[in-house]
């Protein structure tokens, strides 16, 4: 049990400074404010990250749905995007896993924000 706690601390170490969150314009102001209020409290910082994962995941899903709607007339491209998204999710989950019981939430936040940006760049207005 102690080793899981140590790994959880290590997994959230990326949130040790608020500056880490401010390096990406893709993260919400709510998240950076939450990190500032959390200070050095690892548990609070992890809660901030968990909330941001939800926000970034919502952003990603909306962008994905927009791109899929744009591809409505091309079933092959829709299928390719679906397969690409499934591979991306598997890669993100694998690369952000610390062990069987611990996930690096900072990794999930950053990868999800980056993927949302990528999909948003494909949306045509």
Segment 8-26 mean pLDDT: 45
* pTM assigned to the model: 0.74
Domain ranges of the chain: 2-120
Exposed, middle or buried: residue 21 (CB in 10 Å: 0-12, 13-18, 19+)? Answer: buried
Predicted confidence at residue 37, as pLDDT, reads 94
Dihedrals φ, ψ of 73, to 5°? -85, 0
Predicted confidence at residue 2, as pLDDT, reads 43
User: DSSP characters for 2-57?
Assistant: HHHHHHHHHHTGGGSSHHHHHT-TTS-HHHHHHHHHHTT-HHHHHHHHHHHHHHHH
Q: Is the CB of residue 108 less than 8 Å from the CB of residue 92?
A: yes
Q: What is the pLDDT of residues 81-91, one digit of tens each?
A: 999 999 999 99
Residue 17 has pLDDT above 90, yes or no: no
Q: What is the pLDDT of residues 44-103, one digit of tens each?
A: 888 999 999 999 999 999 999 999 999 999 999 999 999 999 999 999 999 999 888 888
SS3 125: coil
Residue 33 has pLDDT above 50, yes or no: yes
């Amino acid at each position: 049990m102690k080793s899981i706690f140590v790994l959880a601390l290590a997994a959230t170490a990326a949130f040790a400074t608020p500056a880490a969150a401010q390096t990406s314009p893709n993260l919400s102001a709510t998240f950076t404010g939450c990190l500032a209020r959390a200070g050095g409290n690892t548990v609070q910082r992890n809660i901030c990250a968990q909330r941001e994962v939800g926000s970034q995941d919502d952003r990603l899903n909306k962008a994905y749905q927009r791109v899929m709607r744009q591809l409505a007339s091309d079933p092959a491209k829709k299928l390719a995007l679906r397969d690409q998204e499934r591979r991306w999710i598997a890669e993100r989950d694998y690369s952000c896993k610390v062990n069987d019981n611990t996930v690096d939430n900072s990794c999930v936040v950053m990868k999800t924000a980056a993927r949302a940006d990528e999909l948003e760049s494909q949306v045509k207005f």
